[in-house]
Structure 1
C-alpha cells in the first residue's frame, strides 16, 4: 500500500489536532459566555470561533471544496471586522459549533482522499494551519478568562 506524501500527512495531523483543541476549549461554553468581550473590547469567543470557520471556508475552497456557509451572510466574522461593532450579527454559539463540525467533516474527507496538494496551494495551506493554531490558543485563554478550568491537560 502506498503511503501519503509527507505534506498531506502533516496537514492531516494539524487539521485533526486543531479540531481537538478547538472542541475542548469551547466545550461547556454557553452562548452568553461566548459573547463576553474581555476588557470590554478584546474579541469574544463567539467571534473567534466564527472567524475560524470563515477562514476554514477559504481553506476548503483552495482544496476544491464548497464552503459550509455563505461568506456574505457571515461577513461579520471576516478578518479585519470589528466584532464589537457587529455583535448583533453574531449567530448562536450552538449554530457555530454545527458549522465547525461540518467544516471538519469536509476537511477530513478531502485530506483523506487527496493524492497531492497543488504546488501553488502549499503556502496558503501552511498559513491556514498556522491560523488554526493561533486562534485555538486564544480560545484556551478566553476559556480561563471566563472562569472555566483549562481544557488542555
Structure 2
C-alpha cells in the first residue's frame, strides 16, 4: 500500500486537533448558554458551532463526500448571516454536537481513504482548515465569557 502524502497527514492532524479543541470548548455548555449573545449582538456559541458545521459540509464536498445536513435548510448558519436575526431558527445545541460528531467521523473516514489531494483542492482545503482554527478559538473565548473555566490547559 502506498503511504499518504504529507499534505494529507497535516490535514488529518488539523482536523483531529480542531475537533478536540472544539469539543473541549463546548463541553458542559447548555443550550440556553449557547444562545447567549455577548454584548447583546456578538455571535452566540450556538451560531458559531452551527457555522463551523455548515462550512465543514463544504470541506466534505471538496473531498467528494456528502454533507451531513441540507445546506438550504440550515442556511442561517452561513457566512454573512446575522445570528441575532435567526435566533428563533437556531437548532438545539445537543443536535449541533451530534452533527459535529457526524462531520468528524465522515472527514476522518474520507481522509483515511485518500493518498493525495488534487492540486486544485489545496487552496480550498487550507482555507477550510484555517476557518476551523479561527472559530475553535472563538469558542474558547465565548466559554470564558459564559463564566466557564478555560478548557485548554
Do both share a fold (TM > 0.5)? yes
Find the counterpart in structure 2 of residue 80 from structure 1: 80
Preserved contact between residue 57 and residue 68 of structure 2 (Cα < 8 Å): yes
The 5 A counterparts of 1:1-153 are 2-153=2-153
Structure 1: stretches of 5+ with no match in the other structure: none
Q: When the two structures are superposed, what TM-score results if normalisation uses the length of structure 1?
A: 0.99
Q: CA deviation at 1:2?
A: 3.9
Q: When the two structures are superposed, what TM-score results if normalisation uses the length of structure 2?
A: 0.99
Q: How many residues align?
A: 153
CA distance in 2, matches of 1:20, 1:113: 21
For 2:87, what is the secondary structure of its paired residue?
Answer: helix
Q: CA deviation at 1:63?
A: 0.2
Deviations 1:29-51 (CA, angstroms, capped at 9, x unpaired):
00000000000000000000000
CA distance in 1, matches of 2:115, 2:57: 20
CA distance in 2, matches of 1:42, 1:12: 31
Structure 2: stretches of 5+ with no match in the other structure: none
- The Cα RMSD (Å) is 0.7
